[in-house]
Chain A
Amino acid sequence: MSGGWNWQHVWDSLPTLLEGFLTVTLLVTVVGSVIAAVLGLVLELLRRSAPAPLAALLTFVVNFIRMTPIVVQLMFAYFALLALDPLTIGIVVFGIHYATYMAEVYRAGIDSVPQGQWEATTALSMSRGRTWRAVIVPQAVRATLPSLGNYVISMFKDTPFLIAITVPDMISNALRYGGDHFRFTEVIVVAGVIFLIASYPTSVLIRKLEQRIAFTT
């Protein structure tokens, strides 16, 4: 490995890097986020409505998942469920791991809905189900969108851990290219730049969203 920046390696590695980005990094982030957003809400609603012992168990499981590194969870699921394809395992583990964080975000969002909203639903004789679906959840989700967005970016940046379970994401493709050509500098920098190009607009979007929410409520 010798000095100097070689643009040839940038162009040559780009296809395999982009392939890893699109077929794994982006896929895991998008599908994982959807799972996390939906499962997180379900977890929080269950925790609130389930009988006390079940709610306590749920809180324990959620804390357990939050307090252990995602790479350990990926490896555990990979070795425990060898029959499943590693990409599926990756998506599901990312979804569940981040669901526990998003559940916490939803909790704060639900608590932020003013008491007067609950009282209005009572005064209108609305059912519990309708109260949650039509009034509380929409307002809670709206209040939590920026935080949820930040967790999506975190998840995106955690995807290189997929290398631990042999899923060919962008970083593992970069390392493979590097190993084949005994050049790592360019590929790693390019991978970093691709991450930056993808996260930056997302974070700008989230900031915009934050401002819009601040203005309209």
Chain B
Amino acid sequence: MPSPRDIDPSTPAIRFEGVEKRFGDNVVLQGLDFEVARGDRVTLIGPSGSGKTTILRLVMTLEEANEGYIFIDGQPLTHTDEGGKRVALKERHRNEMRKRIGMVFQQFNLFPNMSVMENLIEAPVHVLGLSKADAVERGRELLARVGLVDKEDAHPSSLSGGQQQRVAIARALAMDPEILLLDEVTSALDPEIVGEVLEILRDVARTTDITMLIVTHEMHFARDVSNRVMMFDGGRVIEQGDPETIFTAPTHERTKSFLSAVLGT
């Protein structure tokens, strides 16, 4: 398996091909095709229940598609096409693919039984095989980056929501992911601390070339960090383009009404 760093840069980081996802009888995504180029920052917008979270969870392999294929760096993620037959790939393969992908959750999901530093070094040490000393050093750099240098021995439960989410961002970055998935990472936070978390993500966007797939209701943030916005409705992409165009001159009626509802205009 080629390492992510020596893949042809023109290969999309993420590609969906005819993806269908059902929950029982509820068809959430149908015939979904889209690509995210390497280094792209793509924001998914759309009404609640349109399947944005599901897309992120499919990429993180937290859900499995019922039909179609997902490719990461051109390699199949969970299923592959073998002579017209859809074949599930082994857990070992999936886990290799997962190492390229990080995710930050709405509810942070820090490990409450570990200190902040233990949260940060658990996977680098036990998954990537870093030495503990190296992982701690990297952990400290990341804590500095998210403005929490003095919190390495703290317990997640003693931190505010905003601080916990910053640790969660550091934890995802500690794995040096090629792709970062952000699912409404500020929705569980009090309005006055949303800014501190978004500021860190802006900084990550500015200073790294990580491919980002973002779900957010913070339209200013989406505008600042993303180079493409995809509007979802009814399990499909109904409109996409650069943020300036989508936010100021949407063509689709559904996009217009969605945006005026969110932006309150």
Contacts and interface: CB of A to CB of B under 8 A. Distances in A.
Q: How large is the interface on A (under 10, 10 to 19, 20 to 34, 35 or more residues)?
A: 10 to 19
B127 A138 contact: no
A144 to B, nearest CB: 13
Interface string B72-92: 000000000000000000000
B123 interface: yes
B179 to A, nearest CB: 11
Contact of A139 (B105, B112, B171, B172): B112
Interface stretch (A28-36, A64-72, A125-133, A196-204): A125-133
Contact of B98 (A122, A130, A134, A217): A122
B61 interface: yes
A47 interface: no
A135 B105 contact: no
Where chain A touches its partner, the secondary structure class is helix
B95 interface: yes
Contacts of B123: 124-126
B95 A125 contact: yes
Interface residues of B, number: 26
A124 B155 contact: no
B60 to A, nearest CB: 6
B109 A119 contact: yes
A117 B110 CA distance: 7
Interface string A190-217: 0000000000000000000000000011
Nearest to B127: A125
A142 B113 contact: yes
Interface string B91-116: 00001001101110101011111100
Contacts of A122: 60-62, 98
A164 B61 CA distance: 57
A131 to B, nearest CB: 10
A69 B177 CA distance: 56
B175 A125 contact: yes
A123 B102 contact: yes
A134 B114 CA distance: 9
Nearest to A124: B123
A124 B99 CA distance: 7
A127 B122 CA distance: 11
Contact of A123 (B107, B113, B172): B172
B144 to A, nearest CB: 21
A26 B7 CA distance: 65
B126 interface: yes
B157 interface: yes
A2 to B, nearest CB: 61
Contact of A127 (B60, B127, B157, B172): B127
A127 B126 contact: yes
Contacts of B171: 124
Interface in B147-185: 155, 157, 171-172, 175
A120 interface: yes
A116 B57 CA distance: 12
B111 to A, nearest CB: 6
A116 B123 CA distance: 16
Given A124-B175, A125-B175, A134 B103 contact: no
27 contacts: A116-B107, A117-B109, A117-B111, A119-B60, A119-B105, A120-B105, A122-B62, A123-B101, A123-B102, A123-B103, A124-B102, A124-B123, A124-B127, A124-B175, A125-B98, A125-B99, A125-B175, A127-B126, A130-B126, A130-B127, A134-B126, A135-B111, A135-B113, A139-B111, A139-B112, A216-B155, A217-B112
4 smallest CB-CB distances across A and B, nearest first, come from A124-B123, A120-B109, A116-B109, A123-B103
Interface of A: 114, 116-117, 119-120, 122-127, 130, 134-135, 138-139, 142, 216-217
Given A114-B109, A126-B126, A126-B127, 15 more contacts: A116-B105, A122-B60, A122-B62, A123-B60, A123-B62, A124-B102, A124-B175, A125-B127, A126-B122, A130-B126, A130-B127, A134-B111, A134-B114, A139-B111, A216-B157
